[in-house]
Each structure stands twice: as C-alpha cells, then as structure tokens.
C-alpha cells in the first residue's frame, strides 16, 4: 500500500523511450536509470536553488545536487554571472589562461595539504592520474583499495574483493583484464589485520593505499580516526603513499575536506566535481616534490585538451569564493545536523529500524539499527524498504538519489521551510514503509 498517488510521468516516459534508442539503458551514466527504485528515470528540465523540475512539471526539493557538486544549490547567480562573463571571451584555447592561476591560488591559499595541483575534467581522471603518479613515484605496481569505496570507473579500481582475507581482487566489470585486477588488492574497511597481512604478503610492492576521505558511495561508512591514522602510519613505515580520494568530501566537509577533519596529511589527494560548481572539473594535488614527477617536469605522463577549461575555471572561482566566506561550513553543517537529529528523534520515538548516518552536510538513510562501518554490514534486503521510501518521497516532492546505497547532500540553498517540509514528508513516508 502506498500512501500517495504516483506523480505524472508521461513526458519523462516518452523521453525515456527515445533515449533508449540512443544510449545503452537510455542513460549516459548507469545509476540514473532508476533500476534500483520504482519507476523509470525522471528527465530533469530545470533547477533553481534547492528545487528541480522534471519534464512533467513536477517540482522536487533536491537532495542529490547533481551527486554532490551543487553545494550552493542550482543555478547560483554568482556562478551564472561569472560563467557568462568568461564565455564571452571564447570557450577553450588548449593554452594556459590566467583563470587557472586564479582558481589555483584560491585553493592553495586555503589548503595546507597540497602545494601543487593539476586540473583535470572528472573525478575518474583525477584518481586515474593519482594512481599513475603513486606508481611512478614509488616505482611499485600494486594498489590497495577497500571494499565499499568507489573511485570512478578506472580499470584498475573496478575491482572487488576476492575470496580470502587478502587476495588479488576480481574485476567488477567486464572488459577489465584480469592482469589489471592482479595489481589491485581489495580488503574490508576498518580492518587493520587485513592491511598488515597485505603488506606481509606483498612486501615492497604496494605503491599506495587509496581510501575515500569518508567512504560515501556504498552507504556512508564513517571510519574511526584511529583506523585512518593507522593507514597513515603503516604507509609511512612501508614506503607506500596514502591517497585520499576526496571527490565527495573535498570542499564539502569543510574547505580542506576529510583530511582536515581527521587531522591527517595524505600524500596525494584527489578532488572532483564540487570544484566546478556544476561544470566538469577534477583535480589532484600533492607536495611540490611528488608533483614534480608529473609531465612535463617529470616522467609520469598526464594530459588533457579540456583540462583547466576557462569556463569551468570560472564556475570554480565563483563557487569556491562563496565557500570561503566565514561561517559558510559552520552554518551548513549545523543546519544538516539539526535536520538529521530531528529525523532520528522521530524514528526513535516510533521504534523504527532506521538510522541516519551523517557527517558535515552529507547524510545517508539506512533501514537498520546497527552501526555500519563496512560494506558487509549493509543488509541488502533492507533496500526493498528504501524502494518504497524513495517512491513515497518522490510523490511528496522530495528527490533523493535513486538508490539506497547513495548518500544525500544538504546545500546552502535548503532553507528552514524546505527542510521542515522535507521532514514531514520523511515522517509520513516512513509511517508508510513501516506499515507495509
Ligand atoms: N571518486 C569518488 C570518491 C567519487 O565519489 C566519484 C564519483 N562520485 C569518483 C571518484 C568519480 O568521479 P566522476 O564521476 O566525476 O568521474
């Protein structure tokens, strides 16, 4: 039994019929296809502030925010203005521009973790380049990653755990050669023994450990500081590098991301979409010494026609300038905490098996009563409840990413009124989920 009638979806359905002719699954990125929730994809027409409108004219309060980058909300006037101004001068030169310096200066002045950076055009590219740099710098080939962390669709990271505690990984996508997966070790999060075992089994072979600043792609798997510190210490002892993939957490938990939150200095950091304020930008950075290995200074080749694209740089300058305003993160994080706490109070009073995990302005709704720290802790059958929840929320004008494994984001554009409305919708939807 569902509480509310389904929203109209005729126009979206029509567009989907067409898009299926053009794109595999009708989409240009898989999760958009709504495969793990009810219905078919909504085609979005417009966004403004914390709202989006679909092709059928349905209005939603959006907590996906283009999967994270829209920390100021949709269509922010300052970003629009800066982008329009820069666009008048041309859109790409494949040559250096002053805008790249300007954005780099904004970032490096307020980030004590990195001394030199390279702009790229996506998170995937940032991670791929960081891995190559780690391998080139250490002259070692193996990478250690954690089950439950996503680092983009890089060949060597589309790898899942094998059967033993520490084994070579198995590819998690067709088309990734087994020999690539053999260079990637995959172990569970929050497991020191497995990390120690990996270094024993592969002495002097591990170029780097890569971990998401806070794993946020398979639920929100918040790690204890002790575990992260342990990774810092053991990589240092063993001559490996520590890579923090901050594509979600960078400029989100705070300007300096998860590394600053934990008080830990990784060797290489990757950042992504949030820098571009909605346009394609990624970045990796490290000490000047490590970065001197990148071409044309060093032997690690990495390039990109659209890297440092002026229009994308313009969006970045406008967005990051706003993020640097005093009190920005404090307000955003407090607002999120209040939102999360009042949901938690409601579900506790009703004895619902439901938890909200959150850090900064990131949250994750889980149908569980357990503390969840690893991918294994997540009960896959609980996703049936998420499906109902997602549908009820859509029907009440609330847009969450279309999978129970995805986190949500609060932006500066979510005001009290919208957050109150969202809470009411969540309460009513949960009443329905737990009635069925
Ligand atoms: N790393 C992390 C931690 C991510 O969350 C993502 C995507 N959300 C990526 C890398 C890949 O970024 P992109 O989708 O921009 O290639």
With a 6 A CB cut-off, is 145 part of the ligand 1 pocket?
no
In terms of Cα–Cα distance, which of 411, 64, 90 is closest to 99? 90
Gap from CA of 296 to ligand 1 centroid (Å): 26
381: Cβ contacts below 8 Å, ≥ 6 apart: none
From 296, 323, 350, the end of a domain falls on 323
CA dihedral 312, 314, 319, 324 (to 10 degrees): 130
From 323, 352, 379, the end of a domain falls on 323
Probe target for ligand 1 pocket from 27, 120, 127, with the most ligand atoms within 8 Å of CB? 127
- Catalogue the active-site residues: 150, 245, 273
- Shared domain for 127 and 255, answered yes or no, is yes
Owning domain of residue 180: 78-323
- Shared domain for 178 and 130, answered yes or no, is yes
Query: Could you tell me if 93 and 310 are in contact, meaning their C-beta atoms sit under 8 angstroms apart?
Result: yes
Q: What's the pLDDT tens digit per position in 217-272?
A: 999 999 999 999 999 999 999 999 999 999 999 999 999 999 999 999 999 999 99
Gap from CA of 122 to ligand 1 centroid (Å): 7
With a 6 A CB cut-off, is 406 part of the ligand 1 pocket?
no
- Shared domain for 408 and 420, answered yes or no, is yes
Nearest CA to ligand 1 atom 13: 123
With a 6 A CB cut-off, is 392 part of the ligand 1 pocket?
no
With a 6 A CB cut-off, is 58 part of the ligand 1 pocket?
no
Residue 1 lies in a domain: no
CA dihedral 212, 134, 161, 265 (to 10 degrees): -30
Strands 170-171 and 268-271: unpaired
Gap from CA of 272 to ligand 1 centroid (Å): 7
With a 6 A CB cut-off, is 67 part of the ligand 1 pocket?
yes
| Sheet (strand 44-48) strand order | 44-48, 51-54, 59-62, 398-399
138: part of which helix (H) or strand (E)?
helix 123-138
Q: How many CB atoms lie within 10 A of CB 111?
A: 20
- Shared domain for 60 and 191, answered yes or no, is no
Probe target for ligand 1 pocket from 123, 149, 217, 312, with the most ligand atoms within 8 Å of CB? 123
From 323, 342, 362, the end of a domain falls on 323
Residue 424 lies in a domain: yes
Gap from CA of 10 to ligand 1 centroid (Å): 31
Gap from CA of 131 to ligand 1 centroid (Å): 14
What gap in Å lies between CA 355 and CA 372, rounded to an integer?
10
Residue 411 lies in a domain: yes
Probe target for ligand 1 pocket from 151, 362, 364, with the most ligand atoms within 8 Å of CB? 151
Gap from CA of 152 to ligand 1 centroid (Å): 5
- Shared domain for 304 and 395, answered yes or no, is no
Q: What is the ipTM of this complex?
A: 0.99
Nearest CA to ligand 1 atom 9: 152
Instruction: Please report the atom of ligand 1 found closest to the CA of residue 249.
Output: 3
Domain CATH number, residue 398: 3.90.1150.10
In terms of Cα–Cα distance, which of 292, 302, 266 is closest to 119? 302
- Shared domain for 71 and 83, answered yes or no, is no
Number of domains in the chain: 2
Domain CATH number, residue 188: 3.40.640.10
**185 DSSP β-pair partners:** 144, 168
Instruction: Please report the atom of ligand 1 found closest to the CA of residue 125.
Output: 16
- Shared domain for 162 and 63, answered yes or no, is no
- Shared domain for 175 and 133, answered yes or no, is yes
What gap in Å lies between CA 414 and CA 393, rounded to an integer?
16
One digit per residue, pLDDT tens: the chain, 436 residues? 568 899 999 999 999 999 999 999 999 999 999 999 988 999 999 999 999 999 999 999 999 999 999 999 999 999 999 999 999 999 999 999 999 999 999 999 999 999 999 999 999 999 999 999 999 999 999 999 999 999 999 999 999 877 777 767 788 899 999 999 999 999 999 999 999 999 999 999 999 999 999 999 999 999 999 999 999 999 999 999 999 999 999 999 999 999 999 999 999 999 999 999 999 999 999 999 999 999 999 999 999 999 999 999 999 999 999 999 999 999 999 999 999 999 999 999 999 999 999 999 999 999 999 999 999 999 999 999 999 999 999 999 999 999 999 999 999 999 999 999 999 999 999 999 999 6
Q: Is the peptide bond before 278 cis (omega within 30 degrees of 0)?
A: no
């Amino acid at each position: 039994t569902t509480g509310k009638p389904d929203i109209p979806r005729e126009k979206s359905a029509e567009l989907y019929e067409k898009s299926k002719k053009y794109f595999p699954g009708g989409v240009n990125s898989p999760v958009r296809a709504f495969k793990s929730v009810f219905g078919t994809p909504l085609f979005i027409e417009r966004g403004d502030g914390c709202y989006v409108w679909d092709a059928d004219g349905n209005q939603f309060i959006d907590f996906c925010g283009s999967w994270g980058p829209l920390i100021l909300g949709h269509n922010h006037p300052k970003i629009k203005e800066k982008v329009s101004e820069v666009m008048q001068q041309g859109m790409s030169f494949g040559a250096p521009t002053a805008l790249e310096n300007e954005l780099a200066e904004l970032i490096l002045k307020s980030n004590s973790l990195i001394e030199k950076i390279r702009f790229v055009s996506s998170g995937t590219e940032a991670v791929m380049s960081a891995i190559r740099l780690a391998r080139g710098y250490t002259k070692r080939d193996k990478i250690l990653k954690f089950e439950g962390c996503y680092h983009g669709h890089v060949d060597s990271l589309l790898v899942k755990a094998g059967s033993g505690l520490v084994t070579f990984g198995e590819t998690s996508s067709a088309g990734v050669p087994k020999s690539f997966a053999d260079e990637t070790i995959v172990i569970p999060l929050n497991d020191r023994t497995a990390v120690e075992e990996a270094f024993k089994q592969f002495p002097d072979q591990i170029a780097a450990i890569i971990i998401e600043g806070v794993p946020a792609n398979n639920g929100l798997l918040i790690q204890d500081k002790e575990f992260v510190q342990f990774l810092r210490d053991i990589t240092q002892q063993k001559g490996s590098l520590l890579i923090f993939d901050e594509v979600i957490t960078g400029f989100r938990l705070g300007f300096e991301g998860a590394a600053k939150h934990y008080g830990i200095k990784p060797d290489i950091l990757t950042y992504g979409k949030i820098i571009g304020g909605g346009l394609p930008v990624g970045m990796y950075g490290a000490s000047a010494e490590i970065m001197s290995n990148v071409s044309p200074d060093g032997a690690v080749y990495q390039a990109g026609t659209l890297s440092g694209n002026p229009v994308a740089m313009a969006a970045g300058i406008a967005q990051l300038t706003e993020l640097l305003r005093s009190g920005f993160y404090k307000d955003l994080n407090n607002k999120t905490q209040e939102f999360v706490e009042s949901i938690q109070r409601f579900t506790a009073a009703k004895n619902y098996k439901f938890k909200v995990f959150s850090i900064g302005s990131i949250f994750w709704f889980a149908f569980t009563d357990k503390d969840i720290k690893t991918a294994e802790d997540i009960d896959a059958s609980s996703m049936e409840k998420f499906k109902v929840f997602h549908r009820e929320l859509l029907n009440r004008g609330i847009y969450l990413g279309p999978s129970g494994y995805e986190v949500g984001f609060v932006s500066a554009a979510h005001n009290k009124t919208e957050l109150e409305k969202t809470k009411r919708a969540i309460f009513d939807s949960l009443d329905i989920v737990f009635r069925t």
